[in-house]
Amino acid sequence: MDALTVLKKDHDKVRTLLSELEETTERAIKTRQEGLARLKSDLAIHEQIEERIFYPKLKEHAESRAIVLEAYEEHDVVNTILREIEQTPVEDETWAAKFKVMKENLEHHIEEEEGEMFDTTRELFEPSALEELGEQMMALKERLQTRSPAA
Ligand SMILES: [Fe+2]
Ligand SMILES: [Fe+2]
């Protein structure tokens, strides 16, 4: 599977989870707790395959350096909000507000990746190189999934 397809599949999964969680109310304690744990673990693995394989490769090219640097920062922002949500009781009225801010940030990040970043990637890499990169990413993903109990 080529690198961009690997990432797109993860993104679709995250988007679905975000929408499902947004519709929950403070009464759905278990759904929120479980959903958040799943999001956290999926996201951590996704960020690892990007930060350890995809971004460094892309950053070697001057054309994509700025967008990659921005993406690292966006991961940081999302992770910070995510940690804050984790420390907020799911029945607290601010939970949904924090969640919404995190969702918007994450959706924006995903859109930027699938737009400008993926477009640049297609220009810079041959299909065979993307295929190879995708294989490496899937292998790392598998290794991380077996290590993470929540995955
Ligand atoms: Fe990302
Ligand atoms: Fe991504």
pLDDT digits (tens, 9 = 90+) for 24-68: 988 889 999 999 999 999 999 999 999 999 999 999 999 999 999
Phi, psi of 46 (to 5 degrees): -60, -45
What local confidence, expressed as pLDDT, does residue 149 receive?
60
Query: Greater confidence, 148 or 3?
Result: 3
pLDDT-derived band at 151 (thresholds 50, 70, 90) equals: very low
Number of C-beta neighbours around residue 64 at 10 A = 21
Residue pair 59/52 in contact by the 8 Å Cβ criterion: no
Looking at all shown ligands, the one closest to residue 79's CA atom is: 1
Q: pLDDT of 106-124, one tens digit each? A: 999 999 999 999 999 999 9
- Of the listed ligands, the closest to the CA of 67 is 1
Gap between the Cα atoms of 49 and 43, Å rounded: 10
Using the mean position of ligand 1's atoms as its centre, give its distance from the Cα of residue 88 in Å.
Answer: 24
The total number of residues written for the chain in this structure: 151
